Homo-oligomer: A and B are copies of this chain.
Amino acid sequence: MKKYQVVGIGNAMVDVLAHADDTFLAEAGVQKGIMQLIDMDRGVELYGRIGPAKEISGGSAANTIAGIALLGGRTAYVGKVKDDQLGAIFAHDLRAQGADYATPLAPKDAPQETGRCIVLVTPDGERSMNTYLGVTEFLSPSDIVEDQMAAAEWIYLEGYRFDGPESHEAFAKAIAACKGAGGRVSLTLSDPFCVERHRDAFRRMIRDDVDLLFANRAEILSMYQTDDLEKALAQAAAEVELVACTESEKGAHILSGGQRWHVPAVPTDIVDATGAGDLFAAGFLWGLTNGHDLPVCGRMGCIAASEVISHIGARPEADLHSLFVQHGVL
């Protein structure tokens, strides 16, 4: 048995969550429903305009790893924060959830701060994310510990992490160490505009290295530059052994070895959509690494996603294991 079921690599973030309406988004120049990268000046300006906020640890892959840890999975995370107060919050919350986390801190005198994401939640539950990457942009190959990657059944790579100077090298090092020890590689496309920025690099990685691809509808359409979901799914399935594509309230599509399953979404009142995809991946990967059938893994993903969108914040709050039992998948 490998030490870890899943080791995630991504952008380490503290989320700054506030409510806003569509008028505010328009006036503040925030694009709705997507992730937009901002610099520190814009971060300060935008933060000065938003209402009272809550600070909750986030980061896409970190949310996934937190979910797997909450489920009792053996898991670890790699992502960079600084030796500052937000960095301490991020590290505490992940470890307190039961995940291993040992990425070296950027020093106190680093010019950037710990990354943060100003998440504006509109009354429809949609989230518009404004990400200041800070030190997390500078995750380097030296932060990747090969022994840890070799100890993982799966590594889970966050597409957002492609936004950084040394990220491709860091991912390549992680993939080589993991695959060299018989492990497998999963990737989430993260965001349609992230796919736009890095389509060629994503595509090479998908073809050459990825065993499991996570995407939502917009991301997979962007990846394969089509408006036709069926075409995009077919292309992905031809390139990757296992594809899990979410489609919001329409549930998820699982494709593998010429077979295909549709899993319905779990209805809930959407309070804050932040983390839906992250927790889908958590439920799916936990199921997969515990030997469950693919449609059951998909159900677990949908249940975990429905929990996280029922409250503010992208980390699960309810006991996911009990929810799996309640829904009859355990």
> Given A47-B92, A85-B113, A97 and B54 touching (CB < 8 A)?
no
B-contact 0/1 string along A45-80, CB 8 Å cutoff: 001101111111100000000100000000000000
Query: Which residues of B sit under 8 angstroms from A85, Cβ to Cβ?
Result: 84-86, 113-114
B-contacting residues, A150-165, CB 8 Å:
none
Tell me, yes or no, whether A125 is within 8 Å of chain B by CB: no
CB-based contact B93/A66 at 8 Å: no
Identify the closest chain B residue to A85 (Cβ).
B85
- Chain B: CB-nearest residue to A57: B52
Q: Are A48 and B92 in contact (CB under 8 A)?
A: yes
Q: Are B55 and A96 neighbours in the complex by a CB distance under 8 Å?
A: no
Write out the residue numbers on chain B whose beta carbons fall within 8 Å of the beta carbon of A89: 53, 55
Given known A47-B92, A92-B47, contact A52–B315 (CB-CB < 8 A):
yes
* Chain copies in complex: 2
> A115: CB under 8 A from chain B?
no
Query: Do the beta carbons of A313 and B54 come within 8 Å of each other?
Result: yes
- Chain A at the B interface: SS class: mixed
Within 8 Å CB of A96, what residues of B?
50-53
Give CA–CA (A55, B88) in the complex, Å.
12
B66 touches A97 (CB 8 A): no
A315 to B54, CA, bound (A): 10
Contact of A51 (CB < 8 Å), options: B50, B54, B97 = B97
Contact indicator B92/A53 (Cβ below 8 Å): yes
Q: Which residues of B lie under 8 Å from residue A313 when comparing CB positions?
A: 54
A276 to chain B, nearest CB (A): 19
Q: Which residues of B contact A48 (CB under 8 A)?
A: 92
A86 (CB) vs chain B CBs: closest residue: B85
Shortest distance between the CB of A317 and any CB in chain B (Å): 9
Q: How many Å from the CB of A34 to the closest CB on chain B?
A: 24
Taken together as a complex, chains A and B put the C-alpha atoms of A85 and B54 apart, in Å, by 13
List which A131-146 residues lie within 8 A (CB) of chain B.
none
Contact A54-B53, Cβ < 8 Å, known A92-B48, A113-B85 = no
CA distance A223 to B27 in the complex (A): 52
A55 pairs with B52, CB closer than 8 A:
no
Provide a sorted-by-A list of 26 A–B residue pairs whose CB atoms are within 8 angstroms.
A47-B92, A48-B92, A50-B96, A51-B97, A52-B57, A52-B66, A52-B93, A52-B94, A52-B96, A52-B97, A53-B89, A53-B92, A53-B93, A53-B96, A54-B54, A54-B55, A54-B56, A54-B313, A55-B55, A55-B56, A55-B89, A84-B84, A84-B85, A85-B85, A85-B86, A85-B114
